[in-house]
Amino acid sequence: MAVFLSTYVNKVDRKGRVSIPAQFRQSLAKTSAPSTVYLWPSLNHQALEGADQDYLDVLSESLESPDLDADERDMIETFIFGKLIPVSSDAEGRIVLPKELAEFAGITEEAAFIGRRKTFQIWEPNALKAHEAALREQVVRKDISLSQIVAKASRGAASRSGEGV
């Protein structure tokens, strides 16, 4: 499964082509389908979500979990699997952004790619800046730090494994 890191802004040409960031391409090269990414409209933002085939396989398998209620399964199947579009890259690492997806995200002249570990998002650059500013305000308001997040995750893992009980 690919790991997507950092943020990149690339030009979109008049044919709707945009280069996948080199770091993303290097990570995709290690996957089962290195020249294909899957894009779909974000459930929560005016942006696109993207992933590789390996991630979609894991997501699809997770839908079989009895812990997932029917409404959640229906939402994921309808809004992710039902809307995703496989996009192949050319020899230069460019993809053509499907018109309906570019319009959904408001992407015209530039596209901002932001890595989110196992997935990535594609935003209109100014919309991403506004989103990041809003998130930064939340971080400051909630006084969030990385050490707090790591400690919280460690406590959760310990309680799931029965440690510290």
Please tell me the predicted confidence (pLDDT) of residue 163: 56
Please tell me the predicted confidence (pLDDT) of residue 157: 74
Q: What one-character-per-residue DSSP string does 38-104 give?
A: EEEE-SSSSSEEEE-HHHHHHHHHHTT-TTS-HHHHHHHIIIIITT-EEEE--TTSEEEPPHHHHHH
Q: How far apart are CA 71 and CA 37, in angstroms?
A: 27
Please tell me the predicted confidence (pLDDT) of residue 90: 96
- The residues of the chain scoring below 50 in pLDDT are 165
**What structural domains does the chain harbor?**
7-123 (3.40.1550.20), 125-165 (no CATH)
Please tell me the predicted confidence (pLDDT) of residue 61: 94
Q: Which residues pair with 110 in a beta bridge?
A: 11
Q: How many CA atoms lie within 13 A of 99 on its CB side?
A: 2
Please tell me the predicted confidence (pLDDT) of residue 165: 47
